[in-house]
Structure 1
Amino acid sequence: MVCMSCQMVVTYELEKLGLNLHKVEPGKVEVFEPVSADQILILKLALIRAGLELMDNKKNILVEKIVCAVTEMIDYAHDELKTNFSHHLSEKLNHDYTYLANIFSEAKGTTIEQFIILKKIQRVKQLICYNELNMTEISWKMHYSSVAHLSTQFKKITGITPSHFKHMGCNSSLHPEMCEL
């Protein structure tokens, strides 16, 4: 569960099962009473229909927590980062970064660093589409050292420059949510 709408779906499905919820957060649900095998099966099917899955493997749960932490850091970053991504992830998830990196790479087939770059470029695309910030402001907001660094990374990932993307992909007929990788 990375987004609020995913949490709402999970909450709704659990309440439909008559379960009393204590907490629903990314990768974790706490209920007040035991959950039967039948309830788990019903929940799994409902989540699959909603495009979600029930994670019961500790490694998959940790990978989801990494994804959530990275997404949160990128999508909701308002100020300069006080620490680097690896230190932040280690502190937030209470694991050594090397362990997190190995688990993530094994599960996703890519490194955390590459995932962070892809998420940052995805967010840059959204910010370009919103047309509220100039490239200097976007590069600062996304913690790039310069516009040139952002532009180089953007072109490496997408094959086009940010200005070309804005001209081609973010005209008035496209909504910002269409600016995905």
Structure 2
Amino acid sequence: MKLYIKNMVCARCIMVVKSVFENMDINPISVELGEVELKHDIPENQKQELVKSLRSIGFDLISDKKSKTIDKIKTLIIDLVQNKNNDLKINLSNYLSQELRQDYNTLSNLFSEVENTTIEKYFINQKIEKVKELIMYDELSLSEIAYSLNYSTVSHLSNQFKKVTGFSPTFFRNIKTIKRKQIEDL
């Protein structure tokens, strides 16, 4: 039995969700971003308790197909930006189509309908939040950040950053008081 869980975006999320299951004496076969595989079905009363525990820490079970697809799109985009953006050798639409084995137009229309934004805007917002994070760490130059996030040039990164935030990356680096948004708030 597979359960799909909303808002799982990182390795820490996997650890936290796994511990929720284990604390309830439910031993999952595997826990991955957005998915938990169980050996057996769980009783409805235990499932309700599980939902309550997951919600208390910012997660939720997903039951309908649309929500599962949306969550998979978000998880793939977040993983791409956080872990392997520079490794992407094809464009985002082809990547999502291949990973989800669905036509990109179908995915795009569904995402826009449910999230009231496009996949591309969501992807850009994730990248800008990553840029903010890297600027705050103050360990990389703007050209290194641009390269690591697969921007063609520093000016492309700067233009996109300013369009989304209203500030140039240099101005942002100087003020550092603008708080980053949490991934699930994007």
Length-normalised TM-score, structure 1 = 0.90
Q: 1:20 to 1:130 in 2, by over 3 A?
A: same
In the TM superposition, residue 80 of structure 1 has moved relative to its aligned partner by 4.8
Match of 1:64 in 2: 71
Supply the AA of the counterpart residue of 1:140: Y
Match of 1:154 in 2: 161
* Paired residues for 1:1-181 under 5 Å: 1-77=8-84, 79-169=86-176, 178-180=179-181
Gaps of 5+ in 1: none
Task: Check the 8 A contact 2:86/2:148 in 1, yes or no.
Answer: yes
**Number of equivalences:** 175
Supply the AA of the counterpart residue of 2:166: G
Larger displacement relative to structure 2 (116-125 or 23-32):
23-32
- State the SS of the aligned residue for 1:29: strand
Task: Check the 8 A contact 1:129/1:179 in 2, yes or no.
Answer: no
Alignment deviations for residues 139-174 of structure 1 (CA, whole Å, 9 cap, x no partner)? 11111111111111101100010000000016xxx9
Q: 1:81 to 1:20 in 2, by over 3 A?
A: closer
- Higher relative CO (Cα under 8 Å, sequence separation at least 6) belongs to 2
Q: 1:113 to 1:52 in 2, by over 3 A?
A: same
RMSD: 1.7
Q: Aligned residues: percent identity? A: 38
CA distance in 2, matches of 1:86, 1:4: 25
Gaps of 5+ in 2: 1-7
> Which stretches of structure 1, 4 residues or longer, exceed 4 Å deviation after superposition?
none
Task: Check the 8 A contact 1:23/1:31 in 2, yes or no.
Answer: yes
Alignment deviations for residues 30-80 of structure 1 (CA, whole Å, 9 cap, x no partner)? 111221101110001101111111111111111111111001111112635
Supply the AA of the counterpart residue of 1:71: I
CA distance in 1, matches of 2:12, 2:175: 30
Task: Check the 8 A contact 2:128/2:161 in 1, yes or no.
Answer: yes
Length-normalised TM-score, structure 2 = 0.88
CA distance in 1, matches of 2:55, 2:169: 36
